[in-house]
Amino acid sequence: MSEKRTGEMITVESVKAKKTGVSVDLSNGEKLVLSVDSFTEFHLYAGKELTPEEITKIMMFANQDKAYDAALRLLSRDSYSSMEIQRKLLAKGYEYPVVRQAIERLFESDLLNDEHFAQTFAEDVAGLRLIGYNRIVYELRAKGISEDIIKGLSFPREEELKKACAYATTLDKRYYRTPKPRRILKINAALLSRGFDEEVAHQAATSCITATDPKVEKVELDKAYSLAKAKYSRKYQGYELRTRIYAYLVRKGFPYDEIQAIMEEE
């Protein structure tokens, strides 16, 4: 910290109480805002002379209070893990020792609790976002949650299946005109990408969707057959044409017996 002259005593010019703490103006032009606890620690009052060592210590406390207040503002807007708070405070320019001290204060006052954060994320947040065990664990690790805390979490299978079915139902409405076998494959893949394990994803994809109206599926099959025939008949004929059409309809997810039936009709 720069001073007028090395070793010169600096005087407290004014002390004012504010909503955010106590404002302290010094004779060297510095304006500090301290918490009540930090202010009391130094017994500051207007006219008190301070040594350079005392000023350095007061500045450290002032920075710690600023980092603590910044963390409180973050936590008032959203829920964060301690690692996320640390990253955000470091990004704001606070030094690491100051950040760690602010985080310790938050832990001591129970305003920051990684175990509670992980539990809330695994139950409430994951429930709203409809994500499964694997995604939950991945995101918690990315947020700096320890393996010991993660191992202590519970993921009941019935809850995982409930979330998977809810998401499968949403996709079922979106892909209603898609043939059921193809729809099952798409929904199963989507559930796996959201972190559900293979067993839960398969059960939700097969049991939590509606059956396609046979009339609708027949119309879609006729339409797909006509498109495939028009596409491949430009280059292929006979057996090769039939093979190309058949493969196209299989990729679209139509049942084998229905594909066979429409091709025999032709």
pLDDT tens across 2-33, in order? 444 445 678 888 888 877 678 888 888 778 87
Percent of the chain with pLDDT over 90: 46
DSSP reduced 3-state for 176: coil
The domain made up of 157-207 has a fold known as Arc Repressor Mutant, subunit A (1.10.10)
Quick one: CA torsion of 229, 234, 238, 242, rounded to 10 degrees? -30
Supply the pLDDT for residue 265: 77
Q: Are 249 and 174 in contact (CB under 8 A)?
A: no
- Give the pLDDT confidence of 226-247 residue by residue, as tens digits: 988 898 888 888 888 888 888 8
Q: Are 27 and 65 in contact (CB under 8 A)?
A: no
Of 57, 99, 52, 49, the residue nearest 74 (C-alpha): 99
CATH number given to 10-108 = 1.10.10.10
**Spatial distance between the Cα atoms of 143 and 30, rounded to a whole number of angstroms:** 37
Whether pLDDT at 80 is above 80: yes
The domains spanning 10-108 and 157-207 adopt the same CATH topology: yes
- What mean pLDDT do residues 91-109 have? 93
CB within 8 Å of 206: residues ≥ 6 apart: 184
User: What is the domain partition of the chain in residue ranges?
Assistant: 10-108, 114-151, 157-207, 214-265
Supply the pLDDT for residue 3: 41
- Give the pLDDT confidence of 30-79 residue by residue, as tens digits: 788 777 777 777 777 788 888 778 777 888 888 888 899 999 999 999 99
Poorest-confidence range of 87-101, 126-140, 179-193, 240-254? 240-254
Q: In what side-by-side order are the strands of the sheet with 31-34? A: 31-34, 21-26, 10-18, 49-50
What are the distances in angstroms from CA 216 to CA 109, 189, 199, 230, 262? 61, 24, 30, 21, 15
Of 255, 213, 246, the residue nearest 228 (C-alpha): 246
